[in-house]
Chain A
Amino acid sequence: MQMAEVKQIEGKNVEMNSQPKSSAIKNEEKEIVVKVKRFSPDKGEWWQEYKLKVDRFTQMTEVLRRIKTEQDPSLSYRAACHMAVCGSCGMKINGAPRLACKTLALELTKEYGSDEITLEPMDLYPRVKDLVVDLEDFYQRMYKVKPRLYPSEEVLEGKAEHRLVPEDQRELWKFAQCIWCGLCVSSCPSVRNDPEFLGPAAHAKGYRFLADPRDTITEERMNILVDSSWRCTYCYQCFNVCPRDIEPVTTIKKTRAWSGKMKDKTKVIETGEKHVNAIADTIRKSGKLLEAEVYLRTYGLAQAMSDMLFMLKSGRMKYALIKEVPVKGLNDIEKVMNGGEQ
């Protein structure tokens, strides 16, 4: 059902008789070993090996399809579009969370310097069978952010028309391209440690609507998203694993910037804002991040005192007492901080 075919393309006319430079397509073939971590509720977990020949074009989804149709029909996995738009084939390949379709077998053997490739189910989600995991937790996170546009009644009734400038469209579309594959959530440390954190994909989805000028439930969205956004540690794992490069962490940063508009700030938001302001102030003051001061201002004197006892015990108190000397050219830093000349 794909479509294509742009008929008229304005612009440059290409000389139709110009000769192509190269005329051959090189290929190579190699036998690889695929080790799959298998699982079924009645048999438990085991590793199974398959050998097959791949060439430079062989996607890991094709590797799986060939194993299933030619060697072992009992292997279970999900795959559909094989072009990285449906988000079905998320798994761990050589330990890293990836889409199987967007991974070429031969390239992988070169990257890792080994002809053996391991396949495992994604982390975090309960296993169902072999490489199939239960994504219910992921879906529930997405539903929490009310993942749909709530346009005005006037627009729905056709009495008014949406306008959206190309710049806004581009910005929103970047974040709207989440394919619900679950890779980012499976590899997010904050998701594991903080039940209140929505996770990267839901934040991308949530922000895409929060920032959409056509949406009407902004305050409700802020209440859902802003607190959670301060629960991310900026580890950038979601940035690394996202097969569509939508940068969930960027949407989390952008969501934090909405904190100022919140009427009732939660403790987490307040602490987060204090932390950010303290960092900015110490940099303004000295050109450096003054850890001890940031800590004191973020958590307050009482908390800092009690933590100090812990630091004394662990022998790390000396770090808190380092006296930092301001850097030269603080004026320039001030300019940068104010978004001026850089």
Chain B
Amino acid sequence: MEKLSYDAIVLGAGLSGLMAAHEIGKEGFKVAIISKVFPTRSHSSSAEGGIAAYIPENSDPNDNPDYMTYDTVKGGDYLVDQDAAELLSMKSGEIATVMERWGTLFNRQPDGRIAIRYFGGQTYPRTRFVGDKTGMALLHTIYERTSGLDVDFYSEWFALDLVRDQERVKGVVAMEMKSMMPVFFEARAVVMATGGMGMLYRHSTNSYINTGDGYAMALRAGVALKDPEFVQFHPTALYPSDILISEAARGEGAVLINNKGERFMKRYAPNKLDLAPRDIASRSILTEVKEGRGFPGGFVGLDLTHLGPDYIKERLALAYEAAKSFSGIDATVEPIPVRPAQHYYMGGIDVDITGTNHDLRGLFAAGEAACVSVHGANRLGSNSLLETLVFGRETGRTVADYLKSTDKPSSSVENAELEKMLDEAYLFVKSESGVHFGEVQNKLRDVMWEKVGVFREEKGMQEAVKEVKELRQQVTKMYVNDKSKVYNTEFFNALELRNMMDLAIVISSSALNRKESRGAHYRLDYTQRDDENWLKHTISYLRGNTVEIGYKPVKMTKWKPEPRVY
């Protein structure tokens, strides 16, 4: 197998990966970014509303980083590592300023400084934004910046697996999608910036490419995931494309209605009504659908019509446009079809606040792929863009320091070992019969949605674990119909499904294990938060077919757990 040598490899070219690579490259190290898509196609581009930042001299005069940390800690239902949240707040203003200097066209105040707006869960307004396409604007800025540095891009290269020895990471095996040529990328450090995993769920606001590849590669390399049971669901995703419809719509007076035209939130949240928190609204919608009061296809209506066309087009432009372009619905005359959908993954590769993983020397992670943990049991809006950049940079700097103090690995990698990885992947192409990825993938997405979704309970999750195990078994017998040796997406889809399976078994087992409700993890059989027994991180390893679960304490600095009431 051909070999290319670098100091560091960054997997993933979204915001966190590019930021990490920027910091490593800046120090003169040889760094390559490997991504299965061209950088601007990364899922970071889909982020809409903004990036939270406390900028001294340009924030609410009453605000300070402590309020910001408190909001994040409470939003995360106290499963947040408070030192991580403090770092996030402290660095937020600096990172937004850096992005502005590099060219991001943030919306402005009349005096030319960066504008600000309120977001959910914030005591004071601190969200900075570029229209409703903040993620796209930031991603383009950082790609443009990084592409001007001496950094090698391997776009549309699919990473198969991490290469390691007993003690440390040795690199990555990846394949060029166009030529299907495998290459061993040898490196002293690998940064996992591979993003989320929405494709595990039947309904998700995520891109098609979010198949949890990084989590699975880490698991297969013997690395733990932290808090893998925490999956965020958003109540109002557009049917059927699951594009996010902002909570701003309900803030402006839009109401949720069932197939009888009833404003059903009256039953579930008599005071807050349609502005009830995300988890309650999601559960209410699904209850209506389950009890036969949804529309065919399984959605409810988000009705704006009583607001009048002018008001809708002026104040809810994005909701109006999205409904029109992607569902063919004119929101001024009929309700927008919505349903809950998976939105974000709080769990991830276990790293500390420097981005370092302690299971495998030389392995780092940042962004949605990582669990620092800054979001705890539930992420606050506009904190994910912030996390990608702040911890992308922290991680990049850590890697640069690591490279300065670490020699080249002494042992070399046996070619046989690399070929074995390749053979395992090729197994699917060589098979002449079996299931194809589409059948299994659709089943997996159904199981995860039905049994490890918005509502969870013992029996359902036991079934899920069993079913996922069976499906995971089937995947070993998967076959790829397409034998083509160029851009064989069926082959890569099969490898993605293998990744999805390794992650699904860990999520479902860890969810079954946590016997309480906290943040996004809501159990019908344990509806209360249980700080006495469960104020701790889950640490899950995948050992063959077994998920090995341990725990880590939550880092507390100054905020004691209190009831999460808004």
Q: Are B306 and A129 in contact (CB under 8 A)?
A: no
Interface class of chain A by DSSP:
loop
Closest to B115 in A: A166
Q: Say if the beta carbon of B420 comes within 8 Å of chain A.
A: no
Chain A binder among B181-189, B323-331, B459-467, B510-518: B323-331
Report the interface size class on chain A.
Answer: 35 or more
Residues of A within 8 A of B112 (CB): 162-165
Q: Say if the beta carbon of B244 comes within 8 Å of chain A.
A: yes
Chain A binder among B135-143, B164-172, B350-358: B135-143
Q: Say if the beta carbon of B489 comes within 8 Å of chain A.
A: yes
Q: Are B437 and A69 in contact (CB under 8 A)?
A: yes
Closest to A156 in B: B101
Q: Are B436 and A73 in contact (CB under 8 A)?
A: yes
Interface class of chain B by DSSP:
loop
Q: Say if the beta carbon of A267 comes within 8 Å of chain B.
A: no
Mask, A91-133, CB within 8 Å of B = 1, is 0000000000110101100000000000000000000110010
Say how far A155's CB is from chain B's closest CB, in angstroms.
5
Q: Are A73 and B437 in contact (CB under 8 A)?
A: yes
Docked Cα-Cα span, A214 to B104, in Å, equals: 11
* Residues of chain A from 1 to 43 with CB closer than 8 A to chain B in the complex: 1-9, 11-12, 14-16, 18-27, 40-42
* Residues of chain B from 30 to 48 with CB closer than 8 A to chain A in the complex: 37-38, 40-48
Residues of A within 8 A of B108 (CB): 164-166, 169
Mask, A207-231, CB within 8 Å of B = 1, is 0010010100000000000000000
Neighbour of B240 across the interface among A62, A81, A85, A177, CB < 8 A: A62
Neighbour of B103 across the interface among A107, A177, A212, CB < 8 A: A212
Mask, A132-172, CB within 8 Å of B = 1, is 10110001000100111101000110100011111001001
Q: Are B40 and A87 in contact (CB under 8 A)?
A: yes
Q: Say if the beta carbon of A320 comes within 8 Å of chain B.
A: no
Residues of B within 8 A of A20 (CB): 255, 257, 261, 263, 301, 303, 305-306, 335
Chain A binder among B62-70, B200-208, B398-406: B200-208
Residues of B within 8 A of A78 (CB): 37, 41
Residues of B within 8 A of A234 (CB): none
Neighbour of A11 across the interface among B40, B134, B315, B439, CB < 8 A: B315
Q: Say if the beta carbon of B484 comes within 8 Å of chain A.
A: yes
Say how far B445's CB is from chain A's closest CB, in angstroms.
10
Mask, B302-336, CB within 8 Å of A = 1, is 01011100010001000000100111110001110
Docked Cα-Cα span, A263 to B344, in Å, equals: 53
Neighbour of B306 across the interface among A19, A88, A177, CB < 8 A: A19
Contacts known (A14-B307, A62-B240, A82-B243); A3 close to B133, Cβ less than 8 A: no
Chain A binder among B222-230, B381-389, B411-419, B526-534: B381-389
Chain B binder among A52-60, A271-279, A288-296, A331-339: A52-60
Q: Tell me the A residues contacting B by CB distance below 8 Å.
A: 1-9, 11-12, 14-16, 18-27, 40-42, 55-59, 61-62, 65, 68-70, 73-88, 101-102, 104, 106-107, 128-129, 132, 134-135, 139, 143, 146-149, 151, 155-156, 158, 162-166, 169, 172-173, 176-177, 179-180, 209, 212, 214
Q: Tell me the B residues contacting A by CB distance below 8 Å.
A: 37-38, 40-50, 97, 100-103, 105-113, 115, 117-122, 125, 130-131, 133-137, 140-141, 144-145, 147-148, 178, 195-196, 205-209, 234, 239-241, 243-248, 251-253, 255, 257, 259-261, 263, 273, 295-297, 299, 301, 303, 305-307, 311, 315, 322, 325-329, 333-335, 337, 343-344, 368, 381-385, 436-439, 441-442, 480-482, 484-490, 493
Q: What are 8 contact pairs spanning A and B, CB under 8 A?
A: A22-B334, A56-B327, A58-B240, A86-B207, A106-B328, A169-B105, A172-B105, A214-B103
